[in-house]
Structure formats: C-alpha cells, structure tokens
Amino acid sequence: MFSYNLKLAIKSMRRNPMMTVLMVAAIAVGIGISMTTLSVYYMMNGNPIPEKSDQLFAVTLDSWSPIRPFDVDRPERAPHQLTYQDAERLAELAAGKRQAAMFESSLIIEPVNDEEMPFEATARVTTGDFFSMFNVPFIYGDGWDKAAGAEPMVVLTRQLNERLFGGEDSVGRWLTMNSMRFQVAGVIDTWEPTPRFYDPINGGFREINEMFIPFGLTRVLELDSIGSDWGWKAEEITSFEQWLNSEASWIQYFVELDGDRDEYLAHLDAYVGEQKNLGRFERPMNNNIYNVMEWMDYHEVVANDSRVLLGLSFLFLVVCLLSTITLLLTKFVGKKSETSLRRALGASRGIIFRQQIVEVAVIGFAGGLIGLLLTSFGLQGIQYLYASPPGLVSLDWVIMSAAISVAIISSMIAGLYPAWRVCQVPPATQLKAQ
C-alpha cells in the first residue's frame, strides 16, 4: 500500500510541476536558513568539555579599586583575571585538585637551520596541571609537572611540530626561543575546544595557541601578555618585577575540584583575608568561582547577533510553512474531481487522508534534502564571512538528521489541514459540470 501511495504521490507532484517546485523550494529554503543558524548557535553554545565541565572552575578575586567596582554596569562582578602575585600564590597553595595559572604570550622561534627566517609564534604560558585538567591529548611525550615549573620546556602543537620537525617524534629535541634553549617535552594532537573556554576574554573563537611553556618562566624571560590587562591603581612601574607585583589583572586562573565548591571558596576567602591584612583587597570580600558553562555565559560567548539570527530564522521557517499550506490548499481544489471519483469507487476518508499525508511527506523529504544542500552552502558562507577556522562548524550526522526530520515533520503538520479538507469532498457529486 505504501508503494502505491508513493507512486500516486509522485504522479500528483508531476502533474503540476511549478506548484511542486515552489513547495519544495519553500521548505528547502526554510530548512537551509534555520539549520545554518541553528548549527552556528549550537557550535557556539555547545559544551566544549562535557566530561568535566562541572569540575572545572574559573576563579575571580575582587582586588579592584575601593572607590568604584570593576564593572560599573554590573557592580557585583570582580575583575575576570587575577594579578600575577595572587595567581602565583594560589598556585603554590594548591588548594584544589588541580590548578592552572596562565596567560597568552608570543616568542620568537629561531630557525633550526640557517635558511629559514625566525618567526613569531603564540604560546600559552601555564602551570603544568593544564594538560591533565583539560584532557589535552598527547601524541608524543607529556607535559611537565610542578617540580619542573621553571625549566625551559615546551609542548608543541601538531602543526608547529610539523613546521619545525617535519612531524616526527621530537621529544628531547632542542629549540631556541627568545635566545633561550628549550627542550621539547611533548607534542599534542589537534585540540580545538570550541569555544575556547579557558580564555574567552581574548576571543572565544580564536585559533589555539601554537605551543605551551611553563608559567615559572615568566620572570626569567620577562614574558609579556599579548592578551588583555586591566589596572585601577596608579603605580610606578619601571621594571618587569614591579609589573609582576602590581595590581594589574592579567592572569587567567582555573581550578579543578572534585568536591565542595564552598570549601574552595572558603579557602579563597581565607587567602584574601590574609591579603587584606597586608593592605590589599580594599573592596568588600567578593570572590567567586564559575564552572565552564557558567563562565561562558558570564562572557556572553554566544554572540548576540547569532541569537538574533536564530530567532529571525525560525520566524522565516514559519513563513515557509505558511507558503506550503497555502500552496497545498490551492492544489487540493484542483484535485476535487479525482478525489470524489476515488471516493465513489470505494476509498474511505482515511485512505484519502493517508494518501495526502504521504504526498506531503515526500515533498517534505525532497525539501529536506535540498535544504541540507543549502545548509552546507550556508555554513560555508558563514565561515567565509566570519573568517573562522575551517571545520569549525561542519555538517555532521546530528545536523543532517535534524534537517530531514524537521523538514518531514513540519511539512506533515502543514499538510494536516489541507489533507483534512480534501477528505471532506463527497463522493462523485462533484463530477457534474458546474
């Protein structure tokens, strides 16, 4: 019976090709646009580290000016980065299960051979727990542990390893950066958490840093942050050491907890209490920790624009469905005589209804397929427009099945009323000329 339904459906679609093309196009365009914006939104809103997002927390301490809050519009907020001295101290105290104090910098890599020119590469300067905290996958070697905190070691990304060492196992090899010799401790596999949750302030969707070096080298190499920094205090800063001791906030700090949030917060409060006695932290106690999803929310990582687009594109889908219903209704009027003939020949209302739904589902399926094609164009277009790294948003199985299902289900819903109307045609009386 279904194959008969199918055959009839295709015949009916052929009979009025312009109508059919228009209906399929309406559904395809609606699916194309809404699936594109939906994928981008989910990519931005997705949990980049689902297996651990509840256990990783960003730390904020309110070391800001006693006169006014860090964020005038949201006075309950503390600065979202720590001062160097606070980060260094908290890392030493090591109260949580693991912690990462880090910032972004850049170093000049001197060429391995003389032919190549030296070039600059970005680095994440971090304490050793980073790799285990964030489940960073290694292909060769390993990171460094606390004990090796200030030794000149480097972990390369796969791409940088390709460029410098042709992709081979370079663990133990030496590299000169900023006139210092570094030893390769490990090479990590392609790791692109989207969004870049551990440093959303400096662009949640920027490319990953090219290498990692120990936090302890900051002093020795006088490493400057290439990220953002904020300061409230007028301080005389004429040396790098003075910079490290200043009240400027420029270090990102993450902690992994397997137990009590409150216990850790109490630890932070105790530390800040200590610092207050030394004359710092003149604002009221305002220390907070945020898990990964909370942190991304805090920074509104999902661009407002993509939320607007999502809303508008679903309205667009509504219009497409309205078009479909309208076109189906007009088509139904043309079918009156055929339907009444079939009814006269014994088809029940249910059979007619089922036939209509099958036809609508076929149109929906066709619209969904073409809609998928349009979605892939749409995603490529988005990538071009926003110059995002390729593969950031791709057409995966989830999106594909979602597109087809939405297409078929929504067109079936759109077809319910017209199908019901078709069934109301009485048998054979419409055959008379009128």
Partner 1 sequence: MGFGPMMSSLLRSKTGPLLVSLQIAVTLAIVINSLFIVLQRVEKINRNTGMDVDNVIIAYVRGFGEGFDVVNSIRNDIDLLNSIPGVIAVSVTNQVPLSGSGSGSGLRAVPDETIDAAPAGRYTWSDKGLDALGVELTRGRNFYAEEIEYILPEGTSPPQDSILITQALADELFPDDDALGKTVYWGSMEPSIIVGIIGHMHGSWVGWDKLSNVVIQPGIYAYTTNKFMIRVEAGMRDELMPIIEQQLGESNRQRVVKSVRSLEELADRSYRRDRGMAIILGIVITLLVGLTALVIVGLSSFHVTQRTKQIGTRRALGAKKRDIIKQFVLENWIITTAGAVLGALLTVVVAYWLETSFSLPRLDWNYLPIGIVSLWLLSTLAVIEPARRAASVPPAVATRSV
| Residues in touch with partner 1 (CB under 8 A) | 18-19, 22, 25-26, 29, 33, 67-68, 72, 108, 110, 117-120, 178-179, 224, 232, 234-236, 238-240, 303-305, 307-309, 311-313, 315-316, 318-320, 322-323, 325-327, 329-330, 333-334, 381-382, 385-387, 417, 421, 433-434
**Pick 53 or 388: Cβ nearer partner 1:** 388
Omega before 195 within 30 of 0, i.e. cis: yes
**Pick 1 or 18: Cβ nearer partner 1:** 18
**Pick 72 or 278: Cβ nearer partner 1:** 72
Q: Compute the least distance from the CB of residue 159 to partner 1, in Å.
A: 18
Rounded Cα gap, residues 404 and 370, in angstroms: 10
**Sign (positive or negative) of CA dihedral 235, 237, 241, 244:** positive
Question: What does the block give as tokens for 125?
Answer: 């300067």
Rounded Cα gap, residues 307 and 13, in angstroms: 37
Q: SS3 of 134, please? A: coil
Q: Compute the least distance from the CB of residue 67 to partner 1, in Å.
A: 6
Residue with tokens 């800040």: 272
Q: Compute the least distance from the CB of residue 337 to partner 1, in Å.
A: 10
Rounded Cα gap, residues 157 and 197, in angstroms: 18
Q: Are strands 180-188 and 153-157 parallel, antiparallel or unpaired?
A: parallel
Q: Compute the least distance from the CB of residue 37 to partner 1, in Å.
A: 8
Q: Compute the least distance from the CB of residue 143 to partner 1, in Å.
A: 26
**Pick 19 or 95: Cβ nearer partner 1:** 19
Q: Compute the least distance from the CB of residue 254 to partner 1, in Å.
A: 24
Rounded Cα gap, residues 44 and 24, in angstroms: 30
Q: Compute the least distance from the CB of residue 83 to partner 1, in Å.
A: 16
**Pick 270 or 318: Cβ nearer partner 1:** 318
DSSP 380-412: HHHHHHHTPPTTSS---HHHHHHHHHHHHHHHH
CB atoms < 10 A from the CB of 2, how many?
A: 8
Q: Which residues pair with 252 in a beta bridge?
A: 102
Closest residue by Cα to residue 198 from 188, 187, 189, 209: 209
The H-or-E segment that residue 156 falls in is strand 153-157
**Pick 161 or 178: Cβ nearer partner 1:** 178
User: Residue 202 carries which DSSP code?
Assistant: G
**Sign (positive or negative) of CA dihedral 50, 51, 55, 61:** negative
**Pick 116 or 189: Cβ nearer partner 1:** 116
**Pick 352 or 374: Cβ nearer partner 1:** 374
Q: Compute the least distance from the CB of residue 66 to partner 1, in Å.
A: 10
Q: Compute the least distance from the CB of residue 325 to partner 1, in Å.
A: 6
**Pick 334 or 389: Cβ nearer partner 1:** 334
Q: Which residues pair with 110 in a beta bridge?
A: 176
Rounded Cα gap, residues 254 and 101, in angstroms: 7
Closest residue by Cα to residue 167 from 189, 192, 152: 189
Rounded Cα gap, residues 8 and 397, in angstroms: 31
**Pick 259 or 334: Cβ nearer partner 1:** 334
Q: Compute the least distance from the CB of residue 28 to partner 1, in Å.
A: 11
